[in-house]
A and B are shown apart, each in its own frame.
Chain A
Amino acid sequence: METTETTSLEDSLRRAAIDRSVKGPVLFLFANAALWLLAATVLGLVSSVKLYAPEFLDSDWTWFLNYARVQPAHMNALIYGWAMQAGLGTMIWLMARRTGQELKGASTVIIATIFWNIAVTLGLLSILFHGSTSMQWLEFPKYLWPIFTISFLMIATRLVGMFARAHKEGEGFMITSWYILGACFWFPWIYLTANLFLHCFGSSLNGASAAGINAWYVNTLILLFFVPVGLGACYYYLPKITGQPIYSSQLASLGFWGLAFLGGWTGIQKYMGGPLPAWMPAIGGAVMILLLVPAGIVALNFHISTEGRHGLIETSPTLRFVFVGSFCYLALSAVGALLGTFWTGSLLQFTYAEYGFHILAIYGFFSMTMFGAIYYIVPRLSGCEWLSARLIRSHFWFSVYGTAALVVCMLLGGLAQGASINAPGNWNLPFVGSIINARGYLIGRTVAWVFILWSNAWFFIHLVLMVLGLGRRSVAPTLLHHEESHAPATA
């Protein structure tokens, strides 16, 4: 096992300099992201109650709190408010560290972040009070997409520049950088395509085509932005914390290019049996099955790489979150394949199961991985350690219980809902049956969001204290177990 560097004074000072250069933008991104996470969780809680008790919070002055407005607000806050910003912060730190470059022009990034957050605020207010575009995950008003695109590009160009400066001719293997770089290219491409086709060329498109492009956007955002950024973080933190190298670079490469070649074909299987040409959802479903291959490869690689060091999950917060996140990648691939084909997905089509899949991807996989990254990165930027191991532990467990309950309830509830709508005996019955069959699972969904709200509220407070520099002044990291362990003190 060769190492490229030892922890010499020079190297650690260099790393400290890199950390210092990204401190402002990354902490700003993380703080904003955590605030939107809290907002998204509250909105998710409200929308989950509205599904079985529409009279909840239903007065004249809360007229905008109906499910049709709160649900898109919840998803958009989760995605554009929390997930993308947490992702961008992590991307910046990871790319800076992996390329050994300091971030130049931190103020540009901060300006981009400010505009990003203004756009998210305007967009959410618009969804709630004016109404949405009803295009899934593109419900923000159509004048906002240029702001998001430009802000993203302002940050992404910096990352690409860092990569270009650092890696000249075929220099070694850098899977994390590839994933981050991929995300830098894929997101603008996907986002521009969807917004240009739906908002600019929209008036001349065939309606069904437009709906297909929307469904493609939803899936490719998950597979070609959230998955790469999450996996990039996993590939960095697992060897970093366990001290063991990634088992096989060939497997990692296969996993990456498998995702790259397959990811763009998915999405339209959401409308299988629908008005689009049959080959589109068929290809989408077939590719979802094929995507089990890169997922399995990545899981295998992670498993073997960390063999013998699984005990570190006891102490390291980052490793705990990243471990759960990486397991959820396999789970989300499996659920995606389940939902994508006529063989298993026809009853689950248009049910809560799709929401469960989305939450598994954005919360179970991506958010947990990002939490792990944040727990690692923030002490290095703020110069103080996390205040309380108990808060971290409760954040972890309430998030895990909440997400697991949410995903399981939504998958089972979706099955109950779909089975009821499609039961031959129910052909002439009103919709009350499917509502009653799924009600228990919807209540489970609310309970899950309560758990998640509890964990995220404390996370937000904890993070804000750290960002303000009010953490523990210590050289020892905040680990989850205070007993002496033989493992080196890593966090």
Chain B
Amino acid sequence: MTSLRKFVIGIGISFGLPWLLLIVVPAISAQKLTTLSYDKERDGMEGAYPGKGIYRQGQLIYAKEGCTQCHTQMIRPGFAGILDPWKKGWGSDQAETPAQPIRPSTQRDYMFEPYAYLGVQRNGPDLTNAGYRLADKSRLEIHEHLYSPQAVNKWSIMPGFRHLYKVQPIQAAGSPKALKLPAAFAPEKGYEVVPTAEAEELVNYLLSLKKDAPIPGEVVADTAAKK
């Protein structure tokens, strides 16, 4: 056997093993994951887990804009110094002091999306359950945050996604979708800022980010009531 052949066999085995066992086989078997059903007796609720996925059209905008560079989308378990389960507003319970810690994300939470944007860094809050957090705000408030984050939090380092918005002259009474911006961020007099279709899709996606449905078999009493 030539050196090359021996070498190729060596590489084939040494790399082929993790390639198969870590990448190929788990990816294929993860495709076969199905939803789990709640049991009315045991869990006190009905339906399937997870219920529905995220809004895919908007997720394409999320990816295009590169939001994963600063925002993560996974809740980690509360050990080894990690505080994810107790961060205020990061779960479905938006109360001042939520009754339960937020549960860690599971593989099924992401089964309806082809690529989960779990995130590169956490320069801003986690967005796994942003849908609950943003439910209190009006769509215009969310748009305002995307257009000029510094108008909402003056210490914010988030970039303003102004290219997702149109500055147009005010016609008649003005558009109902015009953003209400403080003076420092507002366009010049006679102009208003309205969201483009892409911005609307992005907001739809953000509002669809709700991944805190309880796992069948692990339902705690008052979380069942919240569903």
Chain A residues within CB distance 8 Å of chain B:
50-55, 58, 60, 63-64, 66-69, 71-72, 130-136, 139, 160, 163-164, 167-171, 178, 181-182, 185-186, 189, 193, 197-198, 202-214, 216, 224, 257, 260-261, 263-265, 268, 271-277, 280, 283, 342-343, 346-347, 349-352, 354-355, 417, 421-424, 426-428, 430-432, 435-436
Asked if B151 is an interface residue, CB under 8 A from chain A, the answer is: no
| Known contacts A131-B66, A205-B30, A213-B23; A54/B157 CB under 8 A | yes
Interface range for B: 35 or more
Across-interface contacts of A197 in B (CB, < 8 A) = 23, 27
CB atoms of A350 and B72 under 8 A apart: yes
| Known contacts A207-B110, A261-B14, A275-B105; A216/B23 CB under 8 A | yes
CB atoms of B80 and A343 under 8 A apart: yes
Rounded to whole angstroms, the CA-CA distance of A280 and B23 in the bound complex is: 10
Asked if B201 is an interface residue, CB under 8 A from chain A, the answer is: no
The 8 Å CB contact of B66, one of A69, A163, A355, is: A69
Asked if B121 is an interface residue, CB under 8 A from chain A, the answer is: yes
What is the CB-to-nearest-CB distance from A380 to chain B, in angstroms, rounded to a whole number? 27
Asked if B160 is an interface residue, CB under 8 A from chain A, the answer is: yes
| Known contacts A52-B157, A170-B3, A206-B30; A134/B114 CB under 8 A | no
Asked if B197 is an interface residue, CB under 8 A from chain A, the answer is: no
Q: Could you pull out 23 A-B pairs where Cβ atoms are within 8 angstroms?
A: A51-B123, A58-B159, A64-B163, A134-B67, A136-B120, A167-B4, A169-B3, A186-B11, A205-B27, A209-B30, A209-B31, A224-B15, A260-B10, A264-B18, A277-B107, A280-B26, A346-B82, A351-B122, A417-B122, A421-B122, A424-B83, A430-B153, A431-B125
The 8 Å CB contact of A275, one of B26, B74, B87, is: B74
CB atoms of B19 and A273 under 8 A apart: no
CB atoms of B22 and A283 under 8 A apart: yes
CB atoms of A182 and B11 under 8 A apart: yes
CB atoms of A202 and B115 under 8 A apart: yes
CB atoms of A209 and B26 under 8 A apart: yes
What is the CB-to-nearest-CB distance from B66 to chain A, in angstroms, rounded to a whole number? 3
16 other A-B residue contacts (CB within 8 Å) besides A60-B162, A206-B30, A431-B125: A50-B159, A54-B156, A54-B157, A66-B161, A68-B65, A68-B159, A206-B27, A208-B30, A209-B31, A210-B27, A273-B104, A342-B79, A351-B122, A355-B121, A424-B86, A431-B156
CB atoms of A51 and B157 under 8 A apart: yes
Across-interface contacts of A203 in B (CB, < 8 A) = 114
Chain B interface main SS type: loop
| Known contacts A134-B62, A351-B122; A428/B88 CB under 8 A | yes
Asked if B175 is an interface residue, CB under 8 A from chain A, the answer is: no
Across-interface contacts of A168 in B (CB, < 8 A) = 2-3
CB atoms of B121 and A432 under 8 A apart: no
CB atoms of A427 and B87 under 8 A apart: yes
Asked if B214 is an interface residue, CB under 8 A from chain A, the answer is: no
CB atoms of A209 and B27 under 8 A apart: yes
Rounded to whole angstroms, the CA-CA distance of A432 and B104 in the bound complex is: 24
Rounded to whole angstroms, the CA-CA distance of A349 and B76 in the bound complex is: 10
Across-interface contacts of A160 in B (CB, < 8 A) = 4
Rounded to whole angstroms, the CA-CA distance of A354 and B72 in the bound complex is: 14
The 8 Å CB contact of A432, one of B22, B119, B155, B160, is: B155
What is the CB-to-nearest-CB distance from A284 to chain B, in angstroms, rounded to a whole number? 8
| Known contacts A58-B160, A264-B19, A427-B87; A275/B64 CB under 8 A | no
CB atoms of B76 and A67 under 8 A apart: no
| Known contacts A67-B159, A421-B83, A422-B81; A164/B2 CB under 8 A | yes
Across-interface contacts of B106 in A (CB, < 8 A) = 275
Nearest 9 CB-CB pairings of A with B = A68-B66, A131-B64, A207-B116, A207-B110, A264-B18, A66-B159, A273-B76, A346-B80, A428-B88
The 8 Å CB contact of B116, one of A163, A208, A347, A354, is: A208
CB atoms of A268 and B155 under 8 A apart: no
Rounded to whole angstroms, the CA-CA distance of A214 and B120 in the bound complex is: 11
What is the CB-to-nearest-CB distance from B19 to chain A, in angstroms, rounded to a whole number? 6
> Residue of A at shortest CB range from B83?
A422
Asked if B204 is an interface residue, CB under 8 A from chain A, the answer is: no
Near A by CB (< 8 A), chain B positions 145-170 give 150, 153, 155-163
Rounded to whole angstroms, the CA-CA distance of A10 and B123 in the bound complex is: 61
What is the CB-to-nearest-CB distance from A434 to chain B, in angstroms, rounded to a whole number? 8
Rounded to whole angstroms, the CA-CA distance of A296 and B151 in the bound complex is: 52
Rounded to whole angstroms, the CA-CA distance of A98 and B129 in the bound complex is: 56
What is the CB-to-nearest-CB distance from A82 to chain B, in angstroms, rounded to a whole number? 20
Asked if B68 is an interface residue, CB under 8 A from chain A, the answer is: yes
Across-interface contacts of B64 in A (CB, < 8 A) = 130-132, 134
Across-interface contacts of B11 in A (CB, < 8 A) = 182, 185-186, 260
What is the CB-to-nearest-CB distance from A124 to chain B, in angstroms, rounded to a whole number? 14
Across-interface contacts of A436 in B (CB, < 8 A) = 155
Across-interface contacts of A53 in B (CB, < 8 A) = 157
| Known contacts A208-B30, A274-B74, A350-B122; A72/B69 CB under 8 A | yes
Rounded to whole angstroms, the CA-CA distance of A205 and B120 in the bound complex is: 20
Asked if B205 is an interface residue, CB under 8 A from chain A, the answer is: no
Across-interface contacts of B18 in A (CB, < 8 A) = 264-265
Across-interface contacts of B144 in A (CB, < 8 A) = none
Asked if B33 is an interface residue, CB under 8 A from chain A, the answer is: yes
Rounded to whole angstroms, the CA-CA distance of A54 and B161 in the bound complex is: 11
Chain B 4-29: CB-based contact to A (< 8 A → 1; otherwise 0): 10011011001101110011001100
Across-interface contacts of A63 in B (CB, < 8 A) = 162-163
CB atoms of A211 and B66 under 8 A apart: no
Asked if B77 is an interface residue, CB under 8 A from chain A, the answer is: yes
Rounded to whole angstroms, the CA-CA distance of A71 and B121 in the bound complex is: 12
The 8 Å CB contact of A67, one of B31, B69, B117, is: B69
Across-interface contacts of A214 in B (CB, < 8 A) = 115
Rounded to whole angstroms, the CA-CA distance of A186 and B10 in the bound complex is: 12
> Residue of B at shortest CB range from A172?
B3
Rounded to whole angstroms, the CA-CA distance of A306 and B15 in the bound complex is: 32
Across-interface contacts of A277 in B (CB, < 8 A) = 26, 107
